[in-house]
Chains A and B, each alone.
Chain A
């Protein structure tokens, strides 16, 4: 067992033998890169000039008034391409270039990570292929078009359930075949070591900024920090710099879909059965035979049956708390944020907002919380409109 690949009992490198050397090389290259001031300078340059960081920590006045506690929104929705995904993509593609790779591949569910990867590939002149489930291609046509405009090739994955988990399988298969010249850009805090570590490093800019911004205004740490959790990239970035601040309560919000009790949900932590998928050991939705169960959420970005290994560890050690919000609760919160603050959030992020409203009831006026607003809702307008029209949604 490779100790450094584990977070408690979670993580590891459950991949085929052909990828083991590749993962070792990647880990060495990553560790070297983040210690090289030139590399980090370049990374921060693109975050500032291209992505548009830093993002504001916005004090949501009307929400704070209504819910009786100070609510701050970390505005990752204002990043170029509309979500936090680009932070990690810039880091990984710069690393790919440094390692001499000429091609990148990525998996995508809702299309946000695919668009971010296609964007980064265009920026750094790399060939890009994005694997996307056939079902997702149909329900996210706009993002498919964006990827193609950016020069990426979108491959329709028709195996298993035709969704994100199958797109990830296909990306892993392709990577195992082509690792010699291809870099796999994983978008979430999942996958074999060192991916969860890399994604955390490149997303931790979220909490680094937020911590300083909050301190400037409030003169102290926030009482509560929360973020939505699918695989867990925005949340691990939002938690990173607060993990050692024991007085800060960390809350991850998973998708309860139609309700945990219905079995149609995407909350890997709710039932808490560990398993192995996509190169890692973590909590995983599975059936009685140990086959992976389909996740369900109105939000395509949370529609994943597993969760990053560090989150599983934070849950077990009690450092972070994980809760779940249903489709309906998320949509109500989404509409409220639109009307009270003039911000249309991604449905993913609306899950965190919905739980914030519940949490606020236990808090006082002089306490404060930060919600990571991981993405904007432009991509979700069709889903929202179907939902509001009572037509249900494509899921």
Chain B
């Protein structure tokens, strides 16, 4: 079974909500990345999205754009991130890790080689915001047949009639984007967010997570009974920058969020 699916099944059993964070790989360097991942695993974060920096991140707001830009300047890339994954898995770090990346990075690396590296290095899932359902064919075909790495589907407040089609074969969890546009819009969710989440939840066979613009557990209180978990990205990056990437500060934030989310 896939690590993400296993972890989420355990949470469901315990009737617990999932807490998911985003960090940019190689920011400020790979040693810190590994340290932050280990600290979060201990602090109770359920899944980590590991961002592969790309020069033109169109789905991201200013915070993650700057994080990508800085990581690239520091030499981060896909190959080094695979190395980092391999080291983590060798060190028995078992937290599910999802690559959040743009499709050009996959294409440039070679789709087939990319998939096989994901399997070898213990990458459990992929989130590719510029690869909508209609364009997933080639990658999905290569992922099929192994449980190691799964493609996470995104839906948006305006997906409407597209939702059933997108969710038909979706695995792991469904990533509900809380607003139109980009990451990091600080708590300003779409005006129809409750209706939208409710309707996705009603057709989804897998857990429903909400992301984009979330800072604290308080932000998701109004939709707490609908969603199965929350994803924090831009705010978490800001917090780490403010604390000079302190693993302790990251762990404190994660354990607090996780506790409040399940309060």
Task: Give chain A's interface residues, CB within 8 Å of chain B.
Answer: 1-2, 5, 12-18, 20-22, 159-160, 165-166, 169, 172-174, 176-180, 273-279, 281, 284, 286, 289-292
CB nearest neighbor in A for B60: A173
B contact residues around A15 at 8 Å (CB): 130, 132
Q: Which residues of B contact A277 (CB under 8 A)?
A: 56, 104
User: Beyond the given A17-B162, A274-B107, A281-B107, could you list 8 further A-B residue pairs with CB under 8 A, ordered by the A residue number?
Assistant: A14-B135, A18-B158, A173-B58, A173-B59, A273-B108, A284-B104, A289-B108, A291-B54
- Which chain A residues lie closer than 8 Å to B69 at the CB level? 159-160
User: Is A276's CB under 8 angstroms from B180's CB?
Assistant: no
Q: Tell me whether B195 is interfacial, beta carbon within 8 Å.
A: no
Assess whether B181 is in contact with A13, with CB atoms less than 8 Å apart: no
* Contact assessment for B107 and A290 in the assembled complex, using a CB-CB cutoff below 8 Å: yes
B155 touches A (CB below 8 Å): yes
B157: A residues at CB distance < 8 A: 18
B50-76 contacts to A, CB under 8 A, are 54-59, 61-62, 65-66, 69, 72
- In the complex, are the beta carbons of A289 and B65 less than 8 A apart? no
User: Top 6 nearest A-B pairs by Cβ distance?
Assistant: A290-B108, A177-B181, A291-B55, A18-B156, A289-B77, A276-B104
- The yes or no answer to B2 lying at the interface (CB within 8 A) is no
Asked if B105 CB lies within 8 Å of chain A CBs, one says: yes
Q: Residues on B close to A: CB < 8 A?
A: 54-59, 61-62, 65-66, 69, 72, 77-79, 102-105, 107-109, 129-135, 137, 154-160, 162, 166, 177, 179-182
A290 touches B104 (CB 8 A): yes
- Using Cβ atoms and an 8 Å threshold, which residues of chain A touch B180? 18, 176-180
Count of inter-chain pairs, beta carbons less than 8 A: 125
Interchain CA distance A319-B166 in the complex, whole Å? 38
Q: List residues of chain A with CB within 8 A of the CB of B135.
A: 1, 12-14
Cα(A166)–Cα(B105), bound, Å: 18
Listed by A's residue number, 17 A-B pairs whose Cβ atoms lie within 8 Å are A1-B134, A1-B135, A14-B130, A16-B156, A21-B162, A159-B66, A160-B55, A160-B69, A169-B58, A172-B58, A173-B58, A173-B182, A176-B181, A279-B130, A281-B107, A284-B104, A289-B77
Would A17 and B55 count as touching, CB distance under 8 A?
A: no
Residue of A nearest to B103 (CB): A276
Q: Contacts A172-B58, A292-B55, A292-B56 hold; do A159 and B177 have CB atoms under 8 A apart?
A: no
**Bound CA span A159–B65, Å:** 8
Bound complex: CA A284 to CA B55 (Å): 13
Q: Which residues of A contact B56 (CB under 8 A)?
A: 160, 165-166, 169, 277-278, 291-292
Contact of B78 among A20, A179, A279, A289 (CB under 8 A): A289
Q: Measured between alpha carbons, how far is A1 from B129 in the docked complex, in Å?
A: 16
Contact A16 B103 (CB under 8 A): no
- A169-B58, A291-B54 known; A18 vs B177 contact (CB < 8 Å): yes
Q: Is the CB of B104 within 8 A of A173?
A: no
Contact B58 A159 (CB under 8 A): no
Say yes or no: B108 contacts A275, CB within 8 Å. yes
Name the residue of chain A whose CB is nearest to the CB of B163. A17
Which of B54, B109, B156, B179 contacts A17, CB < 8 Å? B156
Interface centre among B79, B130, B158 (most CB of A within 10 A): B130
With both chains docked as a complex, state the minimum distance between the C-beta of A14 and any C-beta of chain B, in angstroms: 5
B33 shortest CB reach to chain A, Å: 17
Q: A159-B62, A160-B56, A176-B180 are in contact. Are A21 and B158 (CB under 8 A)?
A: yes
CB distance from A156 to the nearest CB of B (A): 14
Residues of the A chain whose Cβ atoms lie less than 8 Å from the Cβ of B57:
169
Q: B132: which A residues are within 8 A, CB to CB?
A: 13-17, 20
Q: How far is the CA of A276 from the CA of B182 in the complex (A)?
A: 19
Query: What's the nearest-Cβ distance from chain A to residue B193, in Å?
Result: 13
How far is A286 from B109 in the complex, measured between Cα atoms in Å?
Answer: 12
A2 to B136, CA, bound (A): 11
A285 to B159 alpha-carbon distance, docked (Å): 32
> B108–A16 contact, CB under 8 A?
no
B109 touches A290 (CB 8 A): yes
**Given known A-B contacts A14-B103, A289-B108, A20 and B182 have beta carbons under 8 A apart:** no
Residue among B55, B57, B69, B105 facing the most chain A CB atoms (10 A cut-off): B55
Q: Which residue of A lies closest to B75 (CB)?
A: A289
> Does A291 lie within 8 Å of B177, measured CB to CB?
no
Per the bound structure, the CA–CA distance linking A174 and B54 in Å amounts to 19
| Interface contact A13-B154, CB-CB below 8 Å | no
Contacts of B109 in A (CB 8 A): 290
Docked Cα-Cα span, A349 to B177, in Å, equals: 44
Q: A291–B79 Cα gap in the complex (Å)?
A: 13
- A2→B134 contact, CB < 8 A: yes
Q: Which residue of A lies closest to B79 (CB)?
A: A289
